[in-house]
Structure 1
Amino acid sequence: MKRLQKNITILLAATALASTAAVSHAAELRMSWWGGDSRHKATQEALKVCGEKHGHTIKPEFTGWSGHLEKVTTQIAGGTEADIMQINWPWLPLFSFTGDGFANLYDYKDIIELDNWTPEQLSAGEMNGKLNGLPVSTTGRVYMFNKTTFEKAGLDVPTTWAEVIAAAPVFKEKLGEDYYPFDASTLNAVMLVSNIATQKTGKDLIDPETMTVAWSADELADAIGFYQTLVDQGVIQSWKAGAAEGNMALHENPKWSRGQLAGSYEWDSTYFKYSDPLEEGNELVPVGILKVDGAQTEGVYRKASMTFAISRNSDNPQAAAQILNCLLNEPEGIAAMATARGLPASRAASEQLIEAGAIKPILKQANDIIMASTGPAVSPFNEHPDVRTVFLDALEMFAYGQIDAETAAQEIVDGVNDALEDYKS
């Protein structure tokens, strides 16, 4: 028995030594990502310092957003993908529904300091129990209001839907008929309806167990009816009115810049995208998630904004894991990457950057709202292209009066279930 234990000890020691050796030798790696110039520059610098620290060479492969999914799809299909990849969170089930499309990062927990993420954050990157994507940052939808416009109307920044609705006639009377306390057009209308349905039911759109829509058609119709109430009471512009103005992106809309559209429901990480265009003197503030009567939860839409994955075909997965850990958890990588991908999900990175003053307090405030809010786990299938198209098309038809709320809800339920059918088997 003692001899067996001794042999096992020797075997384990040898295995550990082999693992260390596998990491210690110089490796030639590739990393792919999308982004803009600032992200490209920061990532290349981070790869340089991490490569020098650990003795590896990493070839950068970067593009803009357009066409990146198609490029990665082609590479993965041919087994030619980079060792380390920036993977959009909704792409995880497209490439790895069973969890076998990427390396399981739990296999490298001795290299990657996973305790810098909460269990909930890690679960967002899991497919079939395997950690396929490590969240680079965690983002969510937060309500934002133009404090200056509300002050001009003699009102405080709203914290409830009742206050938002009550502000509409005051805006019209004191500021003008073309002033609205909130904006919810196109995709934001979908996100708003989803938030209301999640609050009322306590469920995400997708039931992860059955891979079907978790809401009944009646429950969804009720949420669509709330959206119409906002239109009818002058809280938001109608879909048709927004289309007549060209369906401009909100941050490019002069009405937003002037404060005539005084609120929205946006990603916390995009705060400056919406605050920067405001005319001088206007102040945009994030508030806690607005809840409807009878809400079971705040229904926070919280997700990994993007993930880092390691190729299942990598010849040097341990070295790739070492670089991944450096980028997200080690001081040199953290300093170089900074906030090029938003407020980091890694606790080590977040604490280091906050201490260094690299994260602006208002951005931290918006993110704190998201992290503290309640809601069911959000399925990445919410952002599947077919799911989004079905939801958008049906809601647009409703907004134009071509179908009623009940018909729109049933079309969404049926259409989303059809889009998910291929994954159920």
Structure 2
Amino acid sequence: MTIRIDRRQFLMGSTALVAAGAAGVVPAWAQSDSLRLLFWGGQARADRTYGVTDLYTKANGTAVEGEFLAWNDYWPKLATQTAGGNAPDVVQMDYRYIVEYAKRNAIAPLDEFVGGALKLDTFDADQLEGGKVDGKLYGISLGANSVAMIYNLAAFEEAGVAPLTNAWTYDDLMAVGEAFKAANIRGGMKAIMDGSYSEPMLQNWLRQKGKDLYTADGKLAFDEADAVEWYTMWAKFRDAGYCVSAEDQALDTGPLETTMLVLGKAAMIPSNSNQLVAFQTLMQDKLGMNGFPRVAAGVGGGHYRKPSMFFSVGGTSANKEKAAEFLNFFISDPEAAKILGVERGIPCIPATRDAVAPTLDEQSQVALNFVSSLGDLLGALPPPPPASAGEIDASLIRTLGQEVGFGAKTPEQAGAELISGANDILSRA
């Protein structure tokens, strides 16, 4: 999914989180018979989530008061609530931010509940490890997913382009771009959004080249030459008319409804496998999904099975054990699993996957099969990104991509600024 949070929003949220950490112990809300839940997502995710909270309340008698926001509104609100000592009992957490929230005690370790309120004996080992920080469990993965290219099958047919496979390359992307340009369908729909804005697409490209965004100790794992090559490649795609213009890309303000795919500006966007279901609810055209392009034929390893998101327990919650019981219900109850489907990713417990599989619609089956059949695209799960990775993404990778797109900077200038700016942010953190 294309997501954006501007620098002011990010820094507001980050400042609030820092304040929470500096304050040490902050007041917890008094224990009550209800739980508060905060998550990001659209209406489709909310409907599924509230279906499960209603099921949980009926089974256990504990009310769950839920609230959902768009991604770019979620993090400032969560950080502000955390700083004020009134964070929800259960929060949705991302792999990008789990280290930062754990190290500031904004979310609670869950190890004391494992074997009791939390039954994790058959939980996928790689997904369990993904929720750990310094050996302690801080997040329960709500599903495994992978980056994926989601594309408009109807638009491909109109442009006379055959459906893509996992074998496609960046050279093939140019050929697809040329075909869409020549066909001039739907008022000039482009082949793809501007991928230079996409941190996951940059990471995938780097991993195929034997590098990554960050090292295990939180340093940059790529250099200026890589950054310049990245911005140069996308500048060529943009100039050739293969990806959308900077003016069109600027219309993407975060929600799925404003993405280039839903707006009909581009036939493809980099996203996550679990987002296929949500995108399909917003579009009449049938959608397909495949891996990101390869840097060359036969080169793989750029993808990995990532926890799509976690549920964590608020560090100041007075209802931690009750929250852990809710988490356990959410990931393991068969009826809950049928309501959730694979919208948040592939379930991490075998029995839950077995319960879900027969109930899935066509697009959900596509998502499940994609994550299960990555083949040589699959590489190892990278270490959690450093705490400041979110700021680097929001204020550098995305901003510099936009500035190159509008002609305010050259790829060479953007590449140099990405490295110097990222190193500065990492050193300050």
Query: Which TM-score bucket, shorter chain as reference?
Result: 0.7 to 0.9
1:284 and 1:297 map into 2 onto residues whose CA distance is: 24
1:240 and 1:193 map into 2 onto residues whose CA distance is: 21
- Asked if the contact 1:136–1:346 (Cα under 8 Å) also holds between the matched residues in 2, the reply is no
Structure 2 residue 371 is matched with structure 1 residue 364: no
Query: Match of 2:292, SS?
Result: coil
Aligned to 1:230: 237
- Asked if the contact 1:238–1:399 (Cα under 8 Å) also holds between the matched residues in 2, the reply is yes
Task: Give 1:125 deviation, angstroms.
Answer: 1.5
1:336 and 1:265 map into 2 onto residues whose CA distance is: 26
1:390 and 1:114 map into 2 onto residues whose CA distance is: 38
Query: Match of 1:117, SS?
Result: coil
1:198 to 204, 207, 210: 207
- Asked if the contact 2:173–2:293 (Cα under 8 Å) also holds between the matched residues in 1, the reply is no
Change beyond 3 A, Cα 1:390–1:334: same
1:399 and 1:151 map into 2 onto residues whose CA distance is: 29
Q: What are the equivalent positions in structure 2 for 1:25-424 lying under 5 Å apart?
A: 28-34=33-39, 35=41, 39-40=45-46, 42-50=48-56, 53=59, 57-65=62-70, 67-97=73-103, 100-111=105-116, 112-158=118-164, 159-175=168-184, 178-184=188-194, 187-188=197-198, 190-200=199-209, 202-209=210-217, 211-240=218-247, 242-243=249-250, 246=251, 261-275=266-280, 278=283, 282-293=285-296, 297-300=300-303, 302-315=305-318, 317-335=320-338, 337-338=340-341, 341=344, 343-357=346-360, 360-368=364-372, 373-378=377-382, 379-381=384-386, 384-423=390-429
Query: Match of 2:226, SS?
Result: helix
Change beyond 3 A, Cα 1:73–1:402: closer
Once superposed, what is the RMSD of the aligned Cα atoms? 3.7
1:350 and 1:138 map into 2 onto residues whose CA distance is: 11
1:39 and 1:149 map into 2 onto residues whose CA distance is: 26
Residues matched between the structures, number? 389
Identity value in percent? 21
2:326 and 2:138 map into 1 onto residues whose CA distance is: 16
- CA-to-partner distance for each residue in 1:373-420, whole Å, 9 max, x for gaps? 423534344851343211122222223333332321121112122222
Amino acid at match of 2:174: I
Change beyond 3 A, Cα 1:145–1:113: same
1:174 and 1:343 map into 2 onto residues whose CA distance is: 37
Query: Match of 1:308, SS?
Result: strand
- Asked if the contact 2:36–2:66 (Cα under 8 Å) also holds between the matched residues in 1, the reply is yes
Query: Match of 1:212, SS?
Result: coil
Query: Match of 2:142, SS?
Result: strand
Task: Give 1:343 deviation, angstroms.
Answer: 4.5
- CA-to-partner distance for each residue in 1:46-86, whole Å, 9 max, x for gaps? 34544564x56344242434754344334433544344333
2:253 and 2:85 map into 1 onto residues whose CA distance is: 40
Amino acid at match of 2:205: I
Amino acid at match of 1:271: L
Task: Give 1:298 deviation, angstroms.
Answer: 3.5
2:358 and 2:254 map into 1 onto residues whose CA distance is: 34
Amino acid at match of 2:226: E
- Asked if the contact 1:32–1:82 (Cα under 8 Å) also holds between the matched residues in 2, the reply is yes
1:121 and 1:93 map into 2 onto residues whose CA distance is: 15
Amino acid at match of 2:169: T
- Asked if the contact 2:144–2:346 (Cα under 8 Å) also holds between the matched residues in 1, the reply is yes
1:273 and 1:114 map into 2 onto residues whose CA distance is: 28
1:30 and 1:150 map into 2 onto residues whose CA distance is: 46
- Asked if the contact 1:257–1:278 (Cα under 8 Å) also holds between the matched residues in 2, the reply is yes
Change beyond 3 A, Cα 1:86–1:182: closer
Aligned to 1:6: none
Change beyond 3 A, Cα 1:223–1:343: same
Could you tell which deviates more after superposition, 126-135 or 343-352?
343-352
Query: Match of 1:90, SS?
Result: coil
Amino acid at match of 1:107: E
Task: Give 1:127 deviation, angstroms.
Answer: 1.6
Amino acid at match of 2:229: D
Change beyond 3 A, Cα 1:79–1:250: closer
Structure possessing the higher radius of gyration over alpha carbons = 1
Aligned to 1:21: none
Runs (4+) off by over 6 Å = 248-251, 257-260
Compute the TM-score of the two structures, normalised by the length of structure 1.
Answer: 0.76
- CA-to-partner distance for each residue in 1:252-306, whole Å, 9 max, x for gaps? 5798579773322222222244445556xx5422123310128864422653332
Task: Give 1:175 deviation, angstroms.
Answer: 4.3
Amino acid at match of 1:361: Q
- CA-to-partner distance for each residue in 1:100-136, whole Å, 9 max, x for gaps? 5433223322122324432221222222221111111
